[in-house]
A and B are shown apart, each in its own frame.
Chain A
Amino acid sequence: MSVSKEQIIDFIYDEARMLDEGRYSEWLALWLPDGHYWMPLEYKQTDPINQTSLLYEDMFMLKLRVERLNGARTFSQKPKSRCHHVIQRPFVDEMNGDTFVTNTSMHYVETRLDEQQLLALTARHDLALVDGALRIANKRVDLLNSDAAFRNIQLLP
C-alpha cells in the first residue's frame, strides 16, 4: 500500500491536535519503539549524544514524562499546564518508499497559572509506514530561540 502526500500532512496535523488535547496514550502509540524526540540546545546542533540538548528522549523517557503529568504528587502540574499548536502546512521534503520526511513551522503556546509563553519552532518528522500505518521514527524540534534562558517547558511542542 502507498501513502499520499495529503495523508502525510494530515498525520502531522493530527499529532499536533493529540498533544493539544492531551491524548497521550494515542500519541505514544504513534511512535516506533526505537524513536527519539530531540530538542537541540544549539542552533544547527548536529550531535544529540555527546553534548547537551534540551531533550533527547527515548520511549522510556517519553512514557515517564507523560505518566508523570497525571501523578498524584506531581506538584508542578497542580494546576495542569495547557498547550496549543498553530502549525503551517507541513512541507513533505522526502518520500522514499516507506519512509518520509516533513518539515513544519509552528507557534507553540504553553500556559499555567498566570504565565504563558510562546515558542516559535520548526519540527522535522521522520515517518515510516509500518503495517499499513504511519508512525513516527524520529522527531526533531528546533526552537527559534533555543539558546535563550527559559522558564519551565513542561509539555511537548
Chain B
Amino acid sequence: MGIYTGNPNAAANLVQPHQVHRDVYIDQEVYALEMRHVFTNAWVFVGHESQTPAKGDYFATQIGDQPVIQVRHKADEIHVLYNRCPHKGTKIVIDRQGNTGKFFRCPYHAWSFKTDGCLLAIPLKKGYEGTGLEKTDSGKGMKAVGAVKNYRGFIFARLAEAGISFEEFFGDSLSSLDNMVDRSPEGRLEVVGSPLRYLHHCNWKMLVENQTDTCHPMVAHESSAGTAVKLYEELDLPEGAPKPAAMEIIAPFMSPYEFFEGMGIRTWPNGHGHTGVNHSIHSDYSAIAGYFEAMSAAYGEEKAKEILGENRHNTVYFPNIMIKGPIQQLRNFIPLAADKTIVESYIYRLVGAPDELTARTAMYNRMINAPTSIVGHDDLEMYERAQEGLHANGMEWVNIQRLLEEDEDFSQEAVLNGTTERQMRNQFDAWRKFMTYGGRART
C-alpha cells in the first residue's frame, strides 16, 4: 500500500493553483480514491431517458468504476440500480440494453427483483427461515444508487446517500443543457443509434481538460484540419460552388489563436464550464431549410433567435461529460483505470426538426470522434504521449497556469479570454472539493 490509499487529503494536496502533481494522472491509488470519493459525491451522467422508453427497458453502464443499470420502472419513473445480484454478486444484466419485462431475474440462482430493485422472490425460500436474511443487505434486493435526477431527459445519479443536491451541484451551468434541448421545437431529444466507443490508454482527466483546451486545435490538428484547408484550396472550385461537407466540420479547427481568444470561456462553480461564450467553431454552419420556421412557430421568432444565437462550443459537466448544444452531442469519458479511459460519443435527434440536422450531427460524430477519425487520431496521440511522458522523473508537475489570476475564486461564475486554462483549474478545484467532501466516502 502506498501513500494515498485511505488518505484523500494526501490526494487533494496534489492540486496547487498553477500546477497539479503527475500522480493525479498516473497513480492507480489516486484513481481508486477518485472512484471512492469524487465519483461518489458528485452527480454523474448515466444515460438519456430515450434509451429506456418503455416499462422494463434497461440500459447497462458505469458510474466511475461502478456497474449500474438505468431501468424504466413506471411510465414516469426511471431508477438506477447497481448491476449486482445481492446474493453472490453476479451481474444481473450483461447486454448493454434490453427489456427485462416486469422483473429482473438473476441467471445464477433465480433470485428475482422488481424493476425498482425490491426483492420479489427466492427459490426454496424456506432455507432462509430463521436465518435473519431479511436483516441483511442481501435480503433487501438490488441496491439503488444514492439519488437520481431526470433533468429534461438526461439521467444523472449521485452514488452517495447524502450530499450535495442536484440543483446546487449544477447551478446555472444547466443553461447549456437547456439550450441543447430547447433547440428541438418540441423541447425534446431522442438518442440516435449506439454511441461510438473509443478506447484511450490515458487518464480520463486528460480528455476532459482537452475539451476546453483552445490552444491545441491549430497545432495538434494541423495534420487533419490544415490538410483539409490545403486540399480545398487546390480544388480551386468556382465561386458559389458547394463546399465539401468536411470543410464545414473540420476546417474551423484551423482557426487562428485570435479566434479562440475571442470566443471566451465561462466557468461555473463545482467544476463546470464552457468555451464559446461569444462565438465558436459551430457558429458558421449553413442554415437548414424549414428549421428556423419550425422553431419560430414553437417559440415565437424572438425566442427562437435567442435559442439559436447561442453557439456554445464545449460544455464540460464535472466530472466526466462534455456536451455540444449546437450539434446535440454528448461525450462520456468513462474512467477504467489510471491509464485507461473509454469515450462514448452519443448523438441526439431534435424532435420536430428537419432530418438534415441529425445528418450533420452524425457527420460531426464520425468525422471528429470515431476511432477511425483523423481528428481523433491527432488527439489520442497527444494524450498517450503525455501519459507515458509523465513518468519522467525530476519533473513531477503539470502546468495549468495560462492566464492565471491571483486568488481565483471558483465559487463565482466568470467569463474570460478564451485561451485561459481557468476551466482546467476549476475542474481541479472541484476535484479537490469532492475528493474530501464532507468526509462522506462510499462505504
Interface residues of A (CB under 8 A from B): 39, 41-42, 45, 49-56, 58, 60-61, 63-65, 67-68, 71, 73-77, 147-154
Contact = CB atoms under 8 A, between A and B. Distances in A.
B244 A68 contact: no
Nearest to A151: B199
Nearest to A113: B384
A149 B197 CA distance: 5
B246 interface: yes
A113 to B, nearest CB: 10
B381 A151 contact: no
A41 B377 contact: no
A59 to B, nearest CB: 9
20 contacts: A41-B193, A41-B194, A49-B359, A50-B359, A52-B192, A52-B362, A53-B362, A55-B366, A58-B246, A64-B227, A64-B246, A65-B374, A68-B224, A71-B222, A75-B382, A76-B381, A77-B223, A147-B197, A152-B380, A153-B371
Q: Which 10 pairs between the two chains have the least Cβ-Cβ distance?
A: A150-B371, A51-B193, A74-B223, A76-B381, A60-B244, A149-B197, A76-B377, A149-B199, A54-B372, A71-B223
B358 interface: yes
A147 B401 CA distance: 40
Given A41-B193, A60-B245, A63-B231, 17 more contacts: A41-B370, A50-B192, A50-B358, A50-B362, A52-B345, A52-B347, A54-B371, A54-B372, A56-B366, A61-B367, A64-B227, A64-B228, A67-B231, A73-B222, A75-B378, A76-B223, A153-B372
Contact of B370 (A42, A45, A54, A65): A54
B371 A61 contact: no
Interface string B167-211: 000000000000000000000000011111111010000000000
A68 B227 contact: yes
Interface class of chain B by DSSP: helix
Contact of A60 (B220, B231, B362, B371): B231
B222 A50 contact: no
Interface in B331-364: 342, 345, 347, 355, 358-359, 362-363
